[in-house]
Structures are given as C-alpha cells and as structure tokens.
Structure 1
Amino acid sequence: MSVGVPILDADHRILIGLINHLQRSIGDAEEYAAVGSVLRALEEYASSHFDREERMMRACRFPLLDQHRQTHVGFVEQVERLQRRYEADQTSVRARDCLTFLNRWLIDHICTSDMGYRTSLVGHREALDAGGVRPLGGDSLSSDEDSSVDWRRLRVLVVDDNLNFREILSTILWAVGIGGVTIVAGIDEARAALNAGGFGLVISDWHIGDESGLDLVRWIRTSGGVSSALPVLMLSAYEGPERRDVALAAGADDFMRKPIAAGTLLECIAQLILQSRRRS
C-alpha cells in the first residue's frame, strides 16, 4: 500500500493504526474514551496530512490536485460531524460508526486515488522538500518549545491496563515524533521499567486494574532514585476538578482527562519537560 514517499507512508500508517485501535475497542469498557481520542487524532491527522499532501502535489504540479482537495474536504467534514455528535452525546458515536467511514476511505482513497500521484512525487526533489516533517499536532507548539525538546531522543513510559487505549496513546506519541515509547499494564511492571532507568516522562492512567496510578506516583516521588524527579502526567476517563487536585497532591505534575487530543498532549509534554529542566 506504499505510495513510495516515506513521509506520506508514515502518515498513512498513523491512520491505519487508529483504525486498528477502533476495531479493538468495540465492546471495550473504555470504548467511548477510545472513540473520542481517535476522533481528535483524526482531526489533527487530517489537518497535518492533507496540508502536507497538497503542498507536495502543488510543488510537482499534479493535475488532479483539485480533485484530491475536494475529497480531503469531504473527509474533514465527516470527521467534524462525528465529533459534533460525540460532543453532544458520547454514547451516540460507536467505534463501528467510525470504522465504516474510515475503512471506506482507506480502500477508496489511500489504496486507489493516492496511488495516482506516486509517479509524480517519487524522485521529485521540490515536492519532497515541500512535504517537510511536521508532526501530528505539532502546530500547537511554539517555536521555543519545539526547538527546546529533542522529541526523537525522548523516552516515555506509558502505564495503562487498557490495551487498546495505551496503544492509541503510543500511536499518538509516535506520530508526534517521540522516539521511544514503552507501554506496561501494571504498577509492578512500571516500577521495574523505572528502576532500569532511561525515561524522560511517565504517563499513567488513574485506574490500573485493582491498583491506582496515584500509588505509582507516590512511589516515584519517594523512591529516592533517578526516577524520583521524573515529570508525571496523570490521565483519567473521569472528570471533575477534584481529580486534578488529588493527582497533583499525590505528586503528579499535570492531569488530563480522556479522551485526549494529540496537539494538547504534545504541548503538555513539552511544558513538563521544560519545567523539569528548570528544576534540575
């Protein structure tokens, strides 16, 4: 399914990853949170990928640019409709609703229409340069934040007992350019990974099976090792201002409610990394 252009193939793999996560979320306890996170990621994916693709087609004077642009607009409008329904009532949008639309897009557009520009883009230096390397959600960063964090060298530990959500999260982290993501399902695994060292950030869910991510945060802060000063971001599918207060009191550096948006997540990570540097 490769279009022969690495940066566009990477974009397409993000979409395929999101489709796979939606498929696995059907009937899952956190299906609605997964759908919300995927919809937000799709909004940012569309903005970043379509802009890149159209710049490249424009640079090589691809004759079907206008046709592609129209289909891109249609995709964005469909995602926006689903997003509005979700925001009005989370239970009104199921994973299957999104999958029907996305699988059709994968077959009709990526596997068919996008193959049409392959011969025009491959080897066209001006078009390849126009593609750039803009990470998913990266537009939310200021130039200072973006230049101050070496995303490719950052290693992140994700702790979440829900397989589907932690894979969605790892897909988003990979998409924004983070070089190393380790995912674990339990606190004991997290402790072992942290004792091994090498991480620059911890992202933990609030509920981890029968355990609490708060216990992990407290252990990190009192461990006395290198990990004790690591920035920690706590996630929860449950809302309420008291959640944030409790997480921060336990030692977390920030709190986000699921579903998450890639741009907001990346901005939060950048802030946490910079704050950690200032403290050290």
Structure 2
Amino acid sequence: MTEECQIAGWSDAFSVGNAAIDSDHKAFFEIANLLKGVIFEAAESKFVIESALAMLEEYVAGHFLREEKAMAKIGFQHFDDHRAKHFAFNRKINEVIRLYRGGSLSVAEKLHDLVLKWLASHIMNEDMKFKSLLTDDVVDQRPLAYLALDAIENEESEKVAVPNAIVHAKVKLDYSKITALICEPSSTIRSGIRFTLNEIGITNIEESNNFIAIDESCKNGGFQIVVMDAVLDGNDSAYFIRQIRSLQTNSDPFVLTVLLLSSRDEVAVRSAMSSGTDSVLLIPFSSGQLRDQIVGHVERRRPFIVTQDYIGPERRNESRPGCASAPQIIVPNPVEALGRGIPMDQYESKKNEAIQVIVNFRLKSLAGAIIFECNSLAAGMRDGLATNESTFRSLTKLENIADELAEKIRKFSGAKSYSVETFRDRCRELKGGVDKITYADVEELSASGKKVSESYASR
C-alpha cells in the first residue's frame, strides 16, 4: 500500500469486521492525529502531549491483549508471529515515551507518523488474516481500561488462553440507579449518547442543550454522569465542569464527566483537558468508545490533584524529573457507589472527607496565588514596568482570588473571613483609581495580602 494511504487515517478499508477491534483501531488513529502538528518543545503543549501519551500507553496494552486473547481462542495459526510484532511495537512506543518523559522532548515528534504508518500496515498485512475468523463471542468486549489493567498486572505471565466466558467485575454494577446529564446541541449526537447510555443500563437521563439549561441543571445537581459538548452556544461549556470540580455548584464534585470535542486544535484540546474532566472524546466517536470511557472510568477512577488553576484527575503516570508533583487525593466515585448499592451515608462520609482535603489544598493554593500576585505587582511597580492596564489586570485577579478564598473559608470552615474580604475590597477600591496608585499603595496591599494568606499558605 502507498504511504499516502497509510497516513490518511481511518477508513472502512481498515475494518476487520469486529466492532470492538475496529473501535480500538479508530481510537489509535485519533490519538495519532491529536499529536500531529503539536509543538513538542512548547511548554503549553505538555498537558496535551502527556494526556495523549497516557492514552496511547493504555490503548496499546489493552488492544493488543484483546487481539491476542481472541487469536488464542480460535487457535490462530499466525499467533506467535502476530504477538511478536505486537511486542516489538509496544517496546518501540514505550522507549519513545520513556525518553520524552526523561526530558528528550523532540523524540515524541515521530509518534504521529510512527503510529499511523505502523497501524495501517499492521491492519492490512496482519489483522486482515483473522478478519473472517473472529466473532463477537471470541472477542473480549470489555473496555480498553479493563484490558490495559489486565495487561499491566500480568505482563510477566503467559496469560493468553482464557475461559470462554468474558470476565466481569467482581460485583456487577446496577446502572439503572444512575442518573446521567447530556449537554449537547446536536439532536443526532444526543440520540446516539442516549442509545449508548441505554445499552449500559442507564435510563434516567436529563438533557440540556444551551447554557441556561446547563446552568440550572448544575445548580440542582442530582446526576452522577455528565456527557457534555465542549462548545455550546459558541461558548466554552467546559466552564461548568470547572465549576463542579471547584465546588461552586450543588452537584457532587466527583461526578464522572466526558467532554465531547469536535476540534483537534491544540488550544481547544488543552482547554478541554484542563477543565478537570475525566476524559475527552473527539467527535465523531463510536458508541463503543463512549461506553468504554464511561465503564472504564467507573472501574479505574484516577486520583485527583489540586493546583492553582486545576482540580481534577491526575493524568501523568509519573512526574517529570526535577518537577514537584501535586499530592494525589483518592476521591469516591458516585457511579460506583450507587451502582454497587453502597449505603449513601457511607458514600457521603467519604465524599465529605475528600471535599475537605480538596478544600484545604485549594485554600493553600489560593493563598499562595495572592502572595505571588502581590509580589509580581510590587516588582512591576518598583521597576517601572507596570502600566495602568497590567495593574488593573493584577488587581482584578487578586480580587477574584480573594473572593473565592473568602467564599471557601465561610462555606467549608465556618470561620469568619473579614480580613480576606477587607483585602478584596481594597483591591476593588484601587481598581477604581488605577491611574493614581502609588508604590506605597502597592506595598501596603502586598503586606495585607501576605498577612491574610499566611495561615493558609503554610498548610
């Protein structure tokens, strides 16, 4: 086949006649395309790249195990050779990722072509050999997340031959108890999402298709799963997931979320990932992909982290050398709790414990942000680099940070927040006369900011 055909992406010509395996292959193409054109040396690209690499690792491990288990079941005559090719590619991918995470950022630039060219060639020259031999009953239908976990936990064993029955979770979830919220402007896509949720067993479904409806739904809460388009009414709807994660709504902050994204643009992907969502699906997606994302995250919920501008799942498998890693917070999963019939008082207790941990980290983060912003403002004023516009921006940021800090203190600690509110009001006052601000004013504000922050920054 020609190179042009190899790198064109998914087409029906690549179908091996099995929905689960085809869905895996489509996901590989999407991950490869996500990496296309990314500037690997750019600091702002790191979040997108790390997320794509983490997905690639999981997809490689899970997909190869899915194929190998099926081939073993049917006694595929080319099994050993096929498996050897899997092993060689897996080793090559892992080596590139290892070098990238070790600081050699440029090595990841080859991943796009490496994945697409190998995948296209492998499907056409190897996978097509079992196209007419595989039936649904011999292919493990579980999500890639399950299979990846099996592959990682058993990488030293020869776990190829498997029982005829597909292995399920040790306690089956009752998804009929789950309530899902769909936020999607396209009626066609909404219907597809509803169909997938029904297949899983979820029948309690609410729908919202505009900002006002979503805002009302988030205020009321009562759902455990959110499937939301990243753009609604031309606006960034990931804002609502940020609000949920940062405890700004009545919704459970640990609801399972899937963001739908039609744009492959790096800025759009980064914005979606930084919302704190559990996963991002690129439109168009298959029913199997959505199902895998939901069911997989129910069973493999990642711990959360809290930073100055992010609350949500930790996606890195390991921290970058020389970089401090935010503490991981084990959070409860409302879908799993409700689906397994865990008493709600037990779940609420775990939820409240996790919320308090997140709040403490958030308070520390906000306090640190006040100190940092005050220092930056004072340095700019002292060095003659500050302008009315930059000063106004800094004061606005300080006002917003102080406002959230005061709100968190009142809501979660029950303490008074007069000193923080006084600091916030002073920021507002200085904004009103930004052209008259003196260095003495900024010094006074900085001293006040450090004083109100010191008891939280040291936590």
**Coarse TM-score class (shorter-chain normalised):** 0.5 to 0.7
What are the ranges of 5 or more consecutive residues in structure 1 without an aligned counterpart? 159-173, 222-227, 249-253, 262-267
Q: Counterpart of 2:32?
A: 19
> Where does residue 256 of structure 1 map in the other structure?
313
Matched, 1:109 2:122: yes
Moved over 6 A (4+): 177-180, 186-189, 195-198, 245-248
Give the 3 Å change call, closer, same or farther, for CA 114–86 of structure 1 in structure 2: same
Residues 202 and 233 in structure 1, CA contact (< 8 A), matched pair in contact too = yes
- The answer to whether 1:143 aligns with 2:169 is yes
1:45 equivalent in alignment to 2:59: yes
Q: Is the 8 A contact 1:157 1:199 kept in 2?
A: no
What letter is aligned with 1:231? F
Residue by residue, what CA displacement relative to the aligned partner does 1:105-126 show, whole Å, maximum 9, x if unpaired? Answer: 12211233211221233x5xxx
CA distance 1:213–1:198, change in 2 (3 Å): closer
In structure 2, do the counterparts of structure 1 residues 193 and 44 end up closer, same or farther at CA, with 3 Å as the change threshold?
same
From 306, 309, 327, the equivalent of 1:244 is: 306
- Which deviations, in whole Å up to 9, do the C-alpha atoms of 1:178-200 show, x marking residues without a partner? 989xxx9x987852664797842
Identify which of 82, 89, 93 aligns with 1:79. 93
CA distance in 1, matches of 2:306, 2:113: 36
State the shift of 1:258 in Å: 4.0
Higher RCO structure, 1 or 2 (CA under 8 Å, sep 6+)? 1
Pairing partner for 1:274 from 333, 336, 340: 336
Say if 1:202 and 1:231, in contact at 8 Å, map to a contact too.
no
Map 1:1-280 to 2 at 5 A: 1-23=14-36, 25=38, 30-89=44-103, 91-94=105-108, 96-121=109-134, 128-138=136-146, 140=149, 143-144=169-170, 147-148=172-173, 150=175, 155=180, 191=215, 194=218, 199-201=223-225, 215-216=243-244, 217-221=246-250, 228-229=251-252, 231-232=254-255, 236=274, 244=306, 255-259=312-316, 271-275=333-337, 278-279=343-344
Identity %, equivalent residues = 23
Q: Which has the higher helix share?
A: 1
Q: Give the partner amino acid of 2:314.
A: R
- How many angstroms does 1:135 deviate by? 0.8
Question: 1:214 and 1:17, CA in 2 relative to 1: closer, same or farther beyond 3 A?
Answer: closer
- Aligned partners of 1:199 and 1:25: how far apart in 2? 36
Tell me the alpha carbon deviations over residues 115-167 of structure 1, each in whole angstroms, 9 at most, x when there is no partner. 1221233x5xxxx42312121112559935x622639x774779xxxxxxxxx
Return the alpha-carbon distance in structure 1 between the equivalents of residues 18 and 102 of structure 2: 39
- The gaps in structure 2 that reach 5 residues or longer are 1-13, 151-167, 184-196, 231-235, 258-272, 277-304, 319-329, 346-459
In structure 1, C-alpha distance between the alignment counterparts of 2:317 and 2:202, rounded to whole Å: 20
Contact 2:247 2:253 in 1 (8 A): no
Aligned Cα root-mean-square deviation (Å): 5.0
Mapped to 1, the partners of 2:332 and 2:175 lie a distance apart of 10
Larger Rg: 2
- Whole-angstrom CA distance in 1 between matches of 2:87 and 2:181: 34
Alpha-carbon deviations, 1:176-235, whole Å to 9, x = none?
x8989xxx9x98785266479784235999xx79x79654544313xxxxxx34634797
Per the normalisation by structure 1, the TM-score is 0.61
Give the number of aligned pairs: 234
Cα separation, partners in 2 of 1:156 and 1:213, compared to 1, 3 Å: closer
Distance change >3 Å, CA 131–CA 52, structure 1 → 2: same
Residue identity matched to 2:254: P
